[in-house]
Amino acid sequence: MAAQLGLSGKAVIACEANPQGVPTNCHSVSSAPAHLGFDRAAINVVQRGRVAPAPEGNTRPVPSP
């Protein structure tokens, strides 16, 4: 919808990752402007990517939805 209206926006997404680096349990922390699909689009992009494992003992808590 935003693309059709020529709008830009942003979304903050939090995920876990499985041992293969595949993002799992992704959820939107915030998006702006709200209710235009930026969060869903960002989650779709993130889930197509892969991440490298953090160094041993280097973890951060993930915000809850």
**pLDDT by 10s per residue, the chain, length 65:** 677 778 889 999 999 988 888 999 999 999 998 888 889 999 999 999 998 876 676 666 655 55
Strand partners of residue 55: none
What CA–CA distance (Å, rounded) separates 28 from 31?
7
User: Which residue range is the domain that position 28 belongs to?
Assistant: 9-48
| Residue 44 located in a structural domain | yes
Written as six digits, the tokens of 15 are 């995920």
DSSP letter for 43, please: H
**Tally of residues, the chain:** 65
DSSP letter for 33, please: S
| Residue 15 located in a structural domain | yes
Residue 6: Cβ within 10 Å count: 6
Q: Find out whether 48 and 20 touch, Cβ atoms under 8 Å.
A: no
Number of domains in the chain: 1
| Residue 13 located in a structural domain | yes
